């Protein structure tokens, strides 16, 4: 698996590439890793006729995990994304992001629209993020991470060692693999992330699909509002889903995403990935 230094601070960003065709980048949520996309079936659904790039966001998976909040700005995340595209010789790509990954995809589409063919936001938000961490997780998230580590973080969400459901066990395993001080730094930075101005959303030409669970508040309302502001966007609700349940099952999401990408492939040409993109995905 390649790792490249970020132009923002030199942090090494891990990613993998599989498939061939127009490029699609998958950006996971907080405390997860690129593995989530394969586990839920997104990679298999996309790789037959697309180049699929999965990135471990800084602080996650096999990427470097700084312990300073200053390392987790949207500027840094977007710089990491652009560095991966440049390393693979990809001029433009579709971006599919969940939660934190959605915010990065949204920011990239607004700031670098010439590099983004399509935006898919899953449980995302363009709003200011103050208070969002304790809403998505639990009150006192940062303090718990610093004092009790990932085990305390899991316990506070009802994900102790006694959990039996497949999804809960998988989530607990993923969370326990994270660096608690890196997550505390990330969430500290998240609390100061400003909203994307309405004028910038309204001026963004990137075709966009916003999806959120109707039990995911306030992300549901924030996604619906952002989609209404963008000139070429639509909002599709995910009935019965909370924020944590946004990605699975994947089929209702892929039913919306695949036709969108297929239509784009038939009418426009994304740049052809370089030979480096023949690398195969790893775990």
pLDDT digits (tens, 9 = 90+) for 138-150: 999 999 999 999 9
Phi/psi at 213 (nearest 5 deg)?
-70, 145
Note the pLDDT of residue 196: 98
Task: With CA atoms as reference, report the closest residue to 35 among 61, 57, 11, 14.
Answer: 61
Mean pLDDT of 258-270: 72
Beta bridge partners of 265: none
Note the pLDDT of residue 166: 85
pLDDT digits (tens, 9 = 90+) for 8-41: 999 999 999 999 999 999 999 999 999 999 999 9
CB distance 184 to 146 below 8 Å:
yes
Note the pLDDT of residue 78: 98
Tokens of 251: 């089929």
CB distance 53 to 200 below 8 Å:
no
| Start-to-end C-alpha separation, the chain | 10
Tokens of 161: 């060692």
Tokens of 142: 């940062």
CB distance 123 to 103 below 8 Å:
no
Q: What percent of the chain has pLDDT over 70?
A: 93
pTM recorded for the entire structure: 0.93
User: What gap in Å lies between CA 28 and CA 49, rounded to an integer?
Assistant: 21
Phi/psi at 83 (nearest 5 deg)?
-65, -40
pLDDT score of 248 more than 50:
yes
CB distance 196 to 190 below 8 Å:
no
User: What gap in Å lies between CA 70 and CA 164, rounded to an integer?
Assistant: 37
b/e code 171-188 from CB counts within 10 Å (16+ = b): bbebbbebbbbbbbbbbb
Dihedral through CA 58, CA 258, CA 212, CA 113, nearest 10? Answer: 60
Note the pLDDT of residue 273: 41
pLDDT score of 173 more than 70:
yes
User: What gap in Å lies between CA 187 and CA 201, rounded to an integer?
Assistant: 24
Mean pLDDT of 141-169: 94
User: What gap in Å lies between CA 57 and CA 13, rounded to an integer?
Assistant: 7
């Amino acid at each position: 698996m390649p790792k490249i230094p970020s132009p923002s601070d030199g942090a090494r960003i891990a990613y993998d590439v599989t498939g061939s065709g127009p490029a699609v980048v998958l950006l996971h949520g907080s405390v997860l890793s690129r593995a989530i996309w394969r586990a839920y079936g997104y990679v298999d659904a996309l790789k037959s006729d697309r180049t699929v790039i999965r990135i471990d966001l800084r602080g996650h998976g096999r990427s470097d995990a700084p312990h300073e909040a200053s390392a987790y700005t949207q500027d840094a995340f977007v710089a990491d994304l652009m560095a991966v595209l440049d390393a693979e010789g990809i001029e433009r790509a579709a971006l599919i992001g969940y939660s934190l990954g959605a915010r990065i995809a949204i920011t990239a589409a607004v700031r670098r629209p010439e590099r983004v063919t399509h935006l898919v936001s899953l449980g995302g938000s363009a709003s200011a993020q103050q208070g969002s961490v304790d809403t998505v997780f639990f009150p006192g998230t940062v303090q718990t991470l610093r004092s009790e580590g990932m085990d305390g973080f899991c316990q506070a969400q009802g994900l102790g060692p006694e959990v039996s459901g497949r999804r809960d066990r998988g989530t607990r395993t993923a969370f326990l693999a994270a660096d608690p001080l890196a997550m505390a730094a990330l969430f500290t930075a998240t609390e100061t992330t400003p909203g994307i101005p309405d004028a910038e959303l309204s001026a963004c030409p990137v075709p966009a699909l916003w999806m959120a669970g109707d039990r995911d508040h306030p992300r549901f309302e924030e996604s619906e509002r952002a989609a209404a502001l963008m000139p070429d966007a639509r909002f599709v609700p995910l009935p019965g889903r909370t924020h944590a349940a946004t990605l699975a099952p994947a089929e209702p999401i892929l039913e919306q995403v695949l036709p969108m990408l297929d239509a784009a492939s038939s009418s426009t040409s994304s740049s052809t990935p370089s030979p480096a993109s023949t690398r195969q995905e790893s775990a």
